[in-house]
Structure 1
Amino acid sequence: MESRAAALQLHDLLASRGFDVFLDTHDIRPGDPFQDVLWHRLVDSDVMVMLDTPTYFDSRWTRQEIGRARAKEIQVLRVIWPEHTPNKLTDLAETIYLDPQELEGPDGPIAAETADTIVLEVERLRSRSIASRYMSITGKLRADVEKIGASVEGVGAHRAVAVRLLDGEKIWAYPIVGIPTAEILNDVADKARRAEQQEIPVLVYDHIGIRDAWNAHLRWLGEHIRAVRTIKVSEAGWALAAWEN
């Protein structure tokens, strides 16, 4: 059973409410590597809306999407089709059950009032997702910092994390959720300037799932933009152990 009409409806409705929406069957351009783009967009998402029909798990991509969304601590909203028994793999997801009268056809669209309820739930989950993922990357940074004998001294303006290295040098780390861009680097540099931090700010990010081409772009930015430095959270201890400003 398909859910194409409902998927397109929610795509357009969420976009009209200001969300940056990605539909895996709709937004990948011809010629782009499907798998790479799928994971790249997934790791830059805050909420995954799962339209749970009887055939949802027939595709290996959908099975992997659920698992990897959980691995990245992305919130999942499960919208369950009428008279369908959901898979236990998604029992931990937030759930909305559809009644038969809430679908205008076998594949949708969904009744307008119910669709609005889904959008409101996405907004609620988005706030929770951003907060939990920020705490997660900050926790990973702290753990790696402490492995090398350095310490986290506290959190300053704009949620910058003060890290004291073994040689006494202090750096300001800016953990981010999602994929770094030139715009985000500029935002970090601006925040550091407004906070009157003397040290070069350090953007900390999780590189898992980011496309190789984008990682190459980030390396290029690192070589040419000196106002901000970047480190992968999984390599924070390694990088900070040999840190030189």
Structure 2
Amino acid sequence: MTYKYQLIFLGDINNNACNTIKVRFFDKIHSIGLRDNMFEIIYNETFERKYSNKQPSFVFYFGNLNHSEKDIDILKVLLDNGDAILPIYFGDNFEAEVPKIIHVMNGRQYIADHIEKYINYAFESMRLLRENRKLFISYRRTDSSAVANQLFDAFVRNNYDVFLDTYSINPAKNFQEELHHRMTDCDVLIQLYTNDFKNSKWCNEEIISANQKQIGVVEIIWPDCTPDIHNLLCEPIQLTQKMFMNEDFHNGSCCITEECIENIVNAVESVRARNLAARQDNLVGEFVEEARKQGRQLIQEYRYLVETLKDDIIRLFIPAIGIPQSYDCFDSLRFRKLLDNEKIELFLIYDDLRIRKKWVEHLEWLNESLEVKTIKKKDFELWLKNN
């Protein structure tokens, strides 16, 4: 099955705003080197047939005074699945244009000059911006270094931030610790599965670590290699001799064809879409479920969870997939300005599995100094009980 990013249009879609946003969205997709076939466009009439709760989604809901309760059943499904919804209204009364079940959401009044902002909300939610599209390439230099470099260049052209040890690790760093740490921050792991590589301890460790973190694994299998049982946990791509330049695959300088590279890029995009949804659902879903157990209600907006407390205090919980950075804490402060509310409390939620201990300690130290606090996944239950 090919996994795609789902762009969903609901409400009053027969207006210029809907069409303009869709056209401008794909203009931006093309400008950063992505392809149309990575996305599934879904409307109310195709929702039941095309929608999957296992793929990353973003929803534009367009308001209308005469159709304010349109597509309620679909909205209930999307809200239950924790999908991000951006309500857009056109008049002066937000609540008069959109269904009651999304009144709690932070809608946007349509302004033609703000279309780029609306599109960026979708990009941020799907993690399609450059700094968020991260890839890890693992290989043995003795027999696949040239192919690793080919893939590095190809994925950089496709708007990925690529981790390759030749380029990415400072010589002064602890190599194995740094590899685990960097892999935690990636969306997809590519393994160049050669005979030398498959016999290494690191090969199996990577797959175990990636599956613990729900990171997608794509194995590029050399023609003379036979997949092992652990390959069942990966997306395999079996290479043939004809996929190599001059049909030579027996040395580190061998290269694969451009057609083969393009097929690998497409496969990685599919795996990324699937696993991004799984990681987001796991992190957000576990936090929401723990809150429900304790009788608390959270609403999912386009990039965060919202909890409303007494005295008009609002808490925003922002999921950080991968490794939270100090900049993420700083960047989160913009939500306070965006929502024009000084009573907003901000939190980053994240999974600390396989993140370096010193980095977790750094984040805990930042908790004492910054307005934005971090909450580890393993602490969700305790934090919600005490706060």
State the TM-score, normalized to the length of structure 1. 0.87
Identity %: 32
1:222 aligns with 2:363: no
Whole-angstrom CA distance in 2 between matches of 1:121 and 1:72: 20
Map 1:62-211 → 2, pairs under 5 A? 62-104=203-245, 105=248, 106=250, 107=252, 108-147=254-293, 149-156=294-301, 158-163=302-307, 171-196=315-340, 198-211=343-356
Contact 2:193 2:222 in 1 (8 A): yes
What SS does structure 1 have at the residue aligned with 2:349? strand
CA distance in 2, matches of 1:70, 1:117: 23
Range 57-66 or range 36-45, more displaced: 57-66
**Quick check: 1:7 aligned with 2:148?**
yes
Instruction: Tell me how far apart the structure 2 counterparts of residues 96 and 52 of structure 1 sit (CA, whole Å).
Output: 10
Q: CA deviation at 1:196?
A: 4.2
Q: What's the counterpart of residue 16 of structure 1?
A: 157
**Whole-Å Cα distance in 1 between the matches of residues 153 and 361 of structure 2?**
32
**CA deviations over 1:64-112 (Å, ceiling 9, x no partner):** 0011101111111111111321111012322222110212332432112
Q: Which runs of 5+ in 1 are unaligned?
A: none
Opposite residue 43 of structure 1, the aligned amino acid is: T
Shift of 1:26: 5.2
Structure 2 CA distance for aligned equivalents of residues 116 and 69 of structure 1? 24
1:238 counterpart SS class: helix
Equivalent position of 1:36 in the other structure? 177
Pair 61,92 (structure 1): closer, same or farther in 2 beyond 3 Å: closer
Asked whether the equivalents of residues 140 and 234 of structure 1 are also in contact (C-alpha less than 8 Å), the reply is no
| Aligned amino acid, residue 181 of structure 2 | H
Higher mean C-alpha deviation, range 17-26 or range 83-92: 17-26
User: What is the match of residue 65 of structure 2?
Assistant: none
Matched length: 239
Paired residues of 2:314 and 2:345 also in contact (CA < 8 A): no
Distance 2:297 2:273 in 1: 25
How well do the aligned residues superpose, as a CA RMSD in angstroms? 2.4
Q: 2:382 maps to which residue? A: 238
The TM-score normalised by the length of structure 2 is: 0.57
| Shift in Å, 1:45 | 0.4
Q: Which runs of 5+ in 2 are unaligned?
A: 1-141
Deviation at 1:178, TM superposition (A): 0.8
* Offset from partner CA, 1:164-197 (integer Å, 9 cap, x none): 78xx976321112111112222332213431345
Q: State whether residues 47 and 122 of structure 1, in contact with CA within 8 Å, keep that contact through their aligned partners in structure 2.
A: yes
Which stretch of the first structure deviates more once superposed, 204-213 or 136-145?
A: 136-145
Which structure carries more relative contact order (alpha carbon 8 Å, separation 6+)? Answer: 1
- Counterpart of 2:274, as a letter, is R
